[in-house]
Amino acid sequence: MISVNNVTLRIGKKALFEDVNIKFTEGNCYGVIGANGAGKSTLLSTITGIAKAGSGTVRFQGADITNTAPHNITKTGISISPEGREVFPGLTVEENLRLGAFIVRDKKKIAEGYARVYELFPRLKERNRQTAGTMSGGEQQMLAMGRGLMSSPKLLMLDEPSMGLAPILVEQIFDIIKRLHQAGTTILLVEQNARMALSVADRGYVLETGKIVATGTTGSARKLVGTILGATMVKNEITAHAVGTTTFHPDVRTILEIGGQDSKIILVENGVAVDYAMNTLCAAGTGAFLSSQAKRLGIEVEEIGAYALRSEHPTPIAARCTVFAESDLVHKIQMGHPREDIIAGVCNAVVANYLSNVGKGKKILSPVVFQGGVSKNEGVVAAFERTLGCKVIVDPNGHLMGALGVAILARKGSGRQKFDFAVENMEFRTREASCGGCSNHCEIICVYRGNELIDSWGNRCERGAVAR
């Protein structure tokens, strides 16, 4: 519906914001949050044509509206409720609302606009003859939002609607924002109250002063993704997880990690990873296994932890591998074991499988940090604590620890390269080639951006190198 593409706005030599890239689709609510001075309100002013972009483009429904005059922006279907409300204090409520419909010539549509606003804000109907300057801050905010709705906009932009309002009024304003969103209005919400903004938004953006100058990738596809993003740091996930965890938990000795498809254990001494192991073929200790068993038991995977904690007599479940665990689970269901006992048994089986396969032969010392998606499962956490006989620390951002670790490494590294979000609009493809330079016949992966070869790998010697 609307896209802001590499937009930079400067006053003299100072950049108010630089290379901003945001996309909004129709019918959604988007929250833009950030500190004072980050350029949130200026971004809205740039979209409405009040502030002039120095570079980049703003497109709305396919048309370039960059630096278009504000009154013409309104005609395209964009409306704004500005920061500080900016109502006309000497005009009545009705007169303020009428100004919001200055582009509307059809009297019937104007009447429909009044009806819609008065339905959303009954207080305005009660006081439609009152001058705006005599109204409370909350009432003026309702009036500013109502004025923005009078033209039946395709995109409604709300700039700091909670500013200066009492908490009870903030709740009322955000309830109305929810109703507008549910009715299908596309909303761009700029707000310092991050909690409230993200409670109604489908997606959130954080606008910060500064720019991205280093990026990092990790995980099994780190080289491919790193090539696509132009990453300044590409690092294996063991190192990334270790760096992330020791940064936030410097005394950690053992890192337990269970994700959706794989799991690993990392042993740490003096803040340095000294040993590790990963699962091989068995998936019985991973999130994928828990998800499939939750489906079999007719519950959401997020509910597993709560069910497990209610159990007083966990059902023994075979923990040797996925096949044995699943067949044993089906058998226990058929025997009539209570659901919570079976689920607690599954959690115990995950821990037993992990320790016997991934942690086999490893000396697990405290402090222990458990991370990965499965760390959010209270039942598995409790099973680890019972089995290990010590407290298991679960970091609130444990599922992001690998990403945090490689970000820290990228920041500390010497590589610097400006990151461009326009990468999401680029077309990338891979092609496999076989080198015939010797009997090894190396399989070489070539990565292209458009028709340009940007990287290749897989060759064991220079004879297999692909010229760019």
- The answer to whether residues 306 and 361 belong to one domain is yes
Residue 13 burial class via C-beta count within 10 angstroms: exposed 0-12, middle 13-18, buried 19 and up: exposed
The DSSP secondary-structure symbol of 390 reads S
Decide if pLDDT at 124 tops 80: yes
Listed in sequence order, the DSSP H helices in 50-193 are 70-76, 93-100, 107-120, 122-126, 137-149, 167-182
Residues 197 and 119 in one domain: yes
Assess whether 179 and 195 both reside in one domain. yes
Which one-letter DSSP state was computed for residue 62? Answer: T
Residue with tokens 């620390």: 393
Mark whether 158 and 200 lie in a shared domain. Answer: yes
How confident is the model over 280-335, as pLDDT tens digits?
Answer: 655 545 677 777 788 888 888 778 888 888 888 888 887 666 666 778 878 888 88
Q: Do residues 151 and 53 share a domain? A: yes
Same domain, 439 and 329: no
60 bridge partner residues: 2, 63
285-295: b (≥16 Cβ within 10 Å) or e: bbbbbbbebbe
Same domain, yes or no: 256 and 238:
no
Band of the pLDDT at 251, cuts 50, 70, 90? very high
pLDDT confidence of residue 366:
93
- What pLDDT does 387 receive? 93
- Across residues 144-149, what is the average pLDDT? 91
Question: Residue 76's closest CA among 47, 114, 39?
Answer: 47
Amino acid at 172: Q
Query: What's residue 317's pLDDT?
Result: 84
Q: Are residues 314 and 260 located together in one domain of the fold?
A: yes
Q: Which two tokens stand for residue 460?
A: 């064991």
The pLDDT of residue 233:
92
Q: Could you give the strand order of the β-sheet that contains 203-206, starting from the edge strand earlier in sequence?
A: 78-81, 155-159, 186-190, 29-33, 203-206
The domain boundary residue, chosen from 345, 374, 394: 394
pLDDT band at 43 (very low <50, low <70, confident <90, very high): confident
Burial (0-12, 13-18, 19+ Cβ within 10 Å), 28: middle
pLDDT digits (tens, 9 = 90+) for 62-114: 899 998 998 889 889 899 988 888 899 999 999 999 999 898 888 999 999 99
In the block, which residue shows the tokens 């458990």?
A: 370
What CATH number is attached to the domain comprising 319?
3.30.420.40
Q: Are 243 and 263 within one domain?
A: no
Arithmetic mean of pLDDT, 129-151: 90
Rounded to an integer, the average pLDDT of 260-265 is: 82
DSSP 8-state code for residue 425: G
* Domain final residue pick, 151, 175, 206: 206
Q: How sure is the predictor about 384, in pLDDT bands with cuts at 50, 70 and 90?
A: very high
Same domain, 140 and 40: yes
Strands (E), 109-251: 155-159, 186-190, 203-206, 216-217, 233-234
Kindly state the tokens that stand for 230: 């132009």
What span, in angstroms and rounded, lies between the C-alpha atoms of 205 and 20?
11
For the beta carbon of residue 368, count every other beta carbon within 10 angstroms: 20
Question: What is the spatial distance between Cα 22 and Cα 24, in angstroms, rounded to a whole number?
Answer: 7
Number of domains in the chain: 4
- 205: nearest Cα among 21, 80, 56, 66: 21
Is 148 in contact with 121 (CB distance < 8 Å)?
no
What b-and-e string marks burial along 423-448, b requiring 16 or more CB atoms within 10 Å of the CB?
Answer: eeeeeeeeeeeebeeeeeebebbbbe
**Whole-number pLDDT of residue 307:** 87
Same domain, 175 and 232: no
Nearest to 372 by CA among 345, 344, 405, 410: 405
CATH number assigned to the domain comprising residue 81: 3.40.50.300
- Cis omega (within 30 of 0) on the bond before 161? no
Tokens of 21: 């890239």
Question: What percentage of the chain has pLDDT greater than the value 70?
Answer: 94
Instruction: Say yes or no to pLDDT of 153 above 70.
Output: yes
- The domain of 216 spans 212-249+395-425
Backbone angles phi, psi at 212, to 5 degrees: -85, 120
What pLDDT is recorded for position 181?
A: 87
The token duo for 349 is: 């089986």
Residue pair 53/130 in contact (Cβ under 8 Å)? The answer is no
Question: What pLDDT, on a 0 to 100 scale, did the predictor assign at position 55?
Answer: 87
- The pair of three-digit structure tokens given for residue 197, joined into one six-digit string: 């903004």
Same domain, 366 and 412: no
Q: φ and ψ at 428, to 5 degrees?
A: -120, 150
3 state SS of 6: strand
pLDDT over 60 (residue 458): yes
Identify the band that residue 374 occupies on the pLDDT scale cut at 50, 70 and 90.
confident
Last residue within a domain, chosen from 190, 206, 222:
206
Token pair in block for residue 312: 């007083």
List pLDDT tens digits, range 388-432: 999 999 988 888 888 889 989 998 888 888 777 677 778 888 888
Q: Using the predicted structure, report yes or no on whether residue 377 has a pLDDT greater than 70.
A: yes
